[in-house]
Structure 1
Amino acid sequence: MMGQALGEDGRTSKDVVFRPVRAGNAFEETVERLLCAIKLGFISQGETLPPERELAVQLDISRVTLREAIRALQQAGYVEPRRGRYGGTFVTYSPSAPSEGDVRRIAETMGDELADALAFRQVIEPGAAALTAQRALTAEERRLLQARLDDVLAADASTYRLMDSRFHLAIAEMCGSPSLYASIAETRLHLNDLLNAIPLLQRNIEHSHEQHNDLLMAILRGDAHTARSVMEDHVAGTAALLRGFLG
């Protein structure tokens, strides 16, 4: 599971994702929060959701509402409750392999939200990378960023997109702004289904590895200008790839 670096106000990335829901749509927002945690890789396939009591407190909902949301996700194939000493609610979701027409179908469903999400990402992720480079990162934060990059480099086709998402979110997590992090996580969530549907191209992966490495090196040496520039090129490349598959 993703490491938990602290923001300037002491909140972790998990705190942001599992923030309290609004009373008016408690069930729907609970499902949204849980799906966000699963699809962004905070809780990977084979891992368990936090204990019911703890999660209900974090989300500020009743355990009845939480159980209803978990039951709905079970029916949709995202989780599987297991009993016993080592039981819990296990995540069963993994991104599916792309099939013909997936990219265009998802893009059509997103409509104008796609262009908006890509434009928003082009602005906020480079800014977050620059902010992270400007911070005095702890030894643990530096180790975590390197570990997230190593995960991307070691990933196979079935886990590459998830590991890529975790690396990007680790950078955003350490920028010092929970609000900025939450915006990046939400944007990434909107784009993940579309990114998962893009065929993995070996040359693109090699290029991404180079950019990821350059990005991390810039952050670790405190070079905010280069970190921003590399991230700008990186997200622009992803947008270009999406436009290409969309014709």
Structure 2
Amino acid sequence: MPAVKKAKRALSLAQSIVRDIEAGRHNPGDRLPREDEMLARYEVARATLREALRFLELQGVIHLQLGRGGGPVVARPQTGDFANSLSLILHFMEADLRGLLELREAIAPDVAAYAAQRATTADLSALAGCLAELRRHEASDQFEELNRRFHDLLGWASGNPLFGLMTSAMHLLTREFSNSLGYSAQERAMQIKFLVRIFEAVRTGDSPAARRAMGRLVAGSAVYLSERSPELVSQRVRWGQL
């Protein structure tokens, strides 16, 4: 069988397996049927089935459990799976950190505005807890990670999972960049100042104020990074750095 045709059959089979998972036949943590059962159900060759399963493993849909009684186990693709695939595309597009910062400037203000409209009580509680942690660790090595976590929580509080996914993925892509740079004490204080404003706007449902505060925060952060380390923001995204 030609390699291209074989690959297409494997992809088609992978899509069929995903449809079966989506239909409720399998839940996260469930083992898929034994190989001979799957061969009979889908009427494919063994090599095609194994290639389809390898593809699904790479996408985070399943993981292979080793040992007696192991085999393919249903999972759920996570943000890291999306970020890893995205980083491969960005690698070949020769995208750099500056491009990611500009993307953040474009969407972050609207994310904050939507969060002000849609944040739940649970969202507000999580944001308040993260902000309190940020204040306690303003001078520690945990600041950058807690800062990212606040923005991640805000993305998911927008009520739009696409915003949450994109926000979290961008933070995974930029983690190594920002960790190598760090923030000065003055910049950390400024970040917290604006995060407090954003949180209060979200808490009170003030979308315009949330948008303005977030716009000023991300624009100021981009300027800070560009001025402090212009060579860093020009570095390209590399696949495999997550």
What's the TM-score once normalised by structure 2's chain length? Answer: 0.58
Write the distance in 2 (CA, Å) between the matches of 1:151 and 1:187.
22
Write the distance in 2 (CA, Å) between the matches of 1:199 and 1:169.
19
1:2-21 aligned at under 5 Å gives the runs none
Query: Structure 1 residue 189: deviation in Å?
Result: 1.4
The correspondence for 2:199, drawn from 216, 222, 240, is: 216
Question: What's 1:148 paired with?
Answer: 130
Q: Note if 1:202 corresponds to 2:204.
A: no
Write the distance in 2 (CA, Å) between the matches of 1:199 and 1:177.
30
Superposed CA deviations along residues 4-29 of structure 1, whole A, max 9, x for unmatched, are xxxxxxxxxxxxxxxxxx95545554
Question: What's 1:62 paired with?
Answer: 64
1:67-216 aligned at under 5 Å gives the runs 112-135=95-118, 137-155=119-137, 156-216=139-199
Write the distance in 2 (CA, Å) between the matches of 1:61 and 1:227.
40
Question: What's 1:7 paired with?
Answer: none
Uncovered stretches (5+) of structure 1, i.e. residues with no partner:
1-21, 31-58, 68-109
The correspondence for 1:246, drawn from 205, 230, 240, is: 230
> Could you tell me whether the CA contact under 8 Å between 1:121 and 1:235 is conserved in 2?
yes
> Could you tell me whether the CA contact under 8 Å between 1:157 and 1:200 is conserved in 2?
no
The percentage of aligned residue pairs carrying the same residue is 21
Q: Partner amino acid for 2:230?
A: L
Q: Secondary structure at the residue paired with 1:157?
A: coil
Query: Structure 1 residue 124: deviation in Å?
Result: 1.4
Question: What's 1:17 paired with?
Answer: none
Superposed CA deviations along residues 9-63 of structure 1, whole A, max 9, x for unmatched, are xxxxxxxxxxxxx955455544xxxxxxxxxxxxxxxxxxxxxxxxxxxx43332
Q: Partner amino acid for 2:64?
A: S
> Could you tell me whether the CA contact under 8 Å between 1:130 and 1:227 is conserved in 2?
yes
Uncovered stretches (5+) of structure 2, i.e. residues with no partner:
1-51, 72-92, 232-242
What's the TM-score once normalised by structure 1's chain length? Answer: 0.57
Q: Secondary structure at the residue paired with 1:222?
A: coil
Q: Secondary structure at the residue paired with 1:61?
A: strand
Superposed CA deviations along residues 77-96 of structure 1, whole A, max 9, x for unmatched, are xxxxxxxxxxxxxxxxxxxx
CA RMSD between the two structures = 2.8
Q: Secondary structure at the residue paired with 1:112?
A: coil
> Could you tell me whether the CA contact under 8 Å between 1:128 and 1:171 is conserved in 2?
yes
> Could you tell me whether the CA contact under 8 Å between 1:130 and 1:219 is conserved in 2?
yes
Q: Which has the higher helix share?
A: 2
Query: Structure 1 residue 152: deviation in Å?
Result: 1.0
Superposed CA deviations along residues 142-200 of structure 1, whole A, max 9, x for unmatched, are 21110011111111421001110111111111111111211111112111111111133
> Could you tell me whether the CA contact under 8 Å between 2:56 and 2:62 is conserved in 1?
no
Q: How many residues align?
A: 157
